[in-house]
Structure 1
Amino acid sequence: MGDNGEKRPHLRLAAENDRKAVDKARARYEIDWPLQKLAANIMRVSRGAGEPYSVIQQCIDVVKGAQAFCDKCGDWPGDNEVREALDFHDPKLRDYSRPYDERSSAIEDIVEGALRLAAARLLRQDLQERHGEKDLLDGVRRLEHYHAELRAKWEAERKAARAKPAPRSKKLIRKPKL
């Protein structure tokens, strides 16, 4: 394909996304990050850390991001956009091609219960607080059960290794030096 008059192949890019879908994906970034920063900071501030002086500015950033989303997409961010931006769950637990991980699943339950409990305490919702405490303690019990099974397995392996006689090694007899 040089200068000898041959035509170069015509390359075309075929995109499955229409312009609206591309704009929406870009606009999601403008709302996702500010929303995630705000949520994380509020959680940290409520436990005694974080940056309480940044909360109001972060709220303003979320509103600006939502307005930018609306300007690009013609509508405000929906439930799905907000839910996905604030989803803290481990994506590996949703990958059903991987083996089930009891430990990680129990930890997810503990985190979910703790968040439910904390939110209920902020709003003084006794019933929700009790449900959050129950969820949290169920997760703790599952994690303790997992660790107990693991310890029992290790102990059984250790006992089996101790009960089995160690293989005797043959002593090499060396010829004395003359």
Structure 2
Amino acid sequence: MRLVSDNSDADLAAGRARQELRRALRAVAANILRIVRGAGKPAELADQLDELQLAISAFQGVTGLPPTAEFSGMLELEEDRDVIRGLNGRNLREHLAVKQMVRGALQKAASNLAGQLTQERAGGTELFEGAIALEQVRDEWRRESGAGKGRPRPRK
């Protein structure tokens, strides 16, 4: 029995190169973020950058295209779309508030590193607004529970 595929060898090679590029790019980004916050592995950064350059070269060799257009998508923070789809009301507002805080913190940190004071302040504002939104949701949980202890526990 022979299986027929719609994917050519070139398509498969491009897919593998894209996956390796994504892995190498995310490894560098994650390590840099951890280093910025005082953790991470600075000693591994040079090797990770070498791996990223090899992945970029491999991607270009297979596709004939520079990968820069793909970087944004490769660096998006992943979310479980099924979980988000199931959120509504306060749960969704809580999720969105935390997401806003993360975006603000990332902007604030990146702008600080780049010496962009205006953008750093904008990131701080976004972080602060997310914290306010989160606190509002938690206040609603506390009022609903009547105990003042935050979100009510789900019943078993």
Identify the TM-score tier after normalising by the shorter chain. Answer: 0.7 to 0.9
Q: Is the 8 A contact 1:44 1:50 kept in 2?
A: yes
Alignment of 1:99 onto 2:87:
yes
Partner of residue 26, structure 1: 16
Amino acid of the structure 2 residue aligned with 1:99: L
Shift of the 22–94 alpha-carbon distance from structure 1 to 2, 3 Å rule, reads: farther
- Give the CA RMSD over aligned residues: 2.0
Distance (Å, rounded) in 2 between the aligned partners of 1:35 and 1:20: 22
Residues 21-76 of structure 1, C-alpha deviations (whole Å, 9 max, x = no match) = 32221111221111111101001111111111111111111000011111111222
* Match of residue 132 from structure 2: 141
How far apart in 2 are the matches of 1:16 and 1:149?
Answer: 52
Gaps (5+ residues) in structure 1?
Answer: 1-10, 157-178
Asked if residue 60 in structure 1 is aligned to residue 50 in structure 2, the reply is yes
2:79 aligned residue: 90
> Unaligned regions of 5+ residues in structure 2, if any?
148-156
| Partner Cα distance (2:19, 2:60) in 1 | 13
CA drift at 1:89: 4.0
TM-superposed CA distance for 1:98, in Å, is 2.7
Give, as a single letter, the amino acid of the residue that structure 2 aligns with 1:54: E
Aligned to 1:120: 111
How many pairs does the alignment contain?
144
**CA-to-aligned-CA distance 1:148-168 (integer Å, 9 cap, x gap):** 001111118xxxxxxxxxxxx
Amino acid at match of 1:86: L
| Separation of aligned partners in 1, 2:4 and 2:144 | 55
Quote the residue 1:8 is aligned against.
none
Q: Measure the CA separation in 2 of the matches of 1:65 and 1:57.
A: 12
- Structure 2 residue aligned with 1:37, among 3, 9, 27? 27
Q: Which AA in structure 2 matches 1:65?
A: A
Q: Structure 2 CA distance, aligned partners of 1:134 and 1:76?
A: 35
Measure how far apart 1:17 and its partner are: 3.6
* Aligned-partner Cα distance in 1 for 2:83–2:104: 19
Q: State the identity as a percent.
A: 31
Return the alpha-carbon distance in structure 1 between the equivalents of residues 83 and 67 of structure 2: 24
TM-score, structure 1 normalization: 0.73
Instruction: Compare CA radii of gyration and give the structure with the larger one.
Output: 1
TM-score (norm 2): 0.82
Distance 2:113 2:32 in 1: 12
In 1, distance between residues paired with 2:134 and 2:123? 17
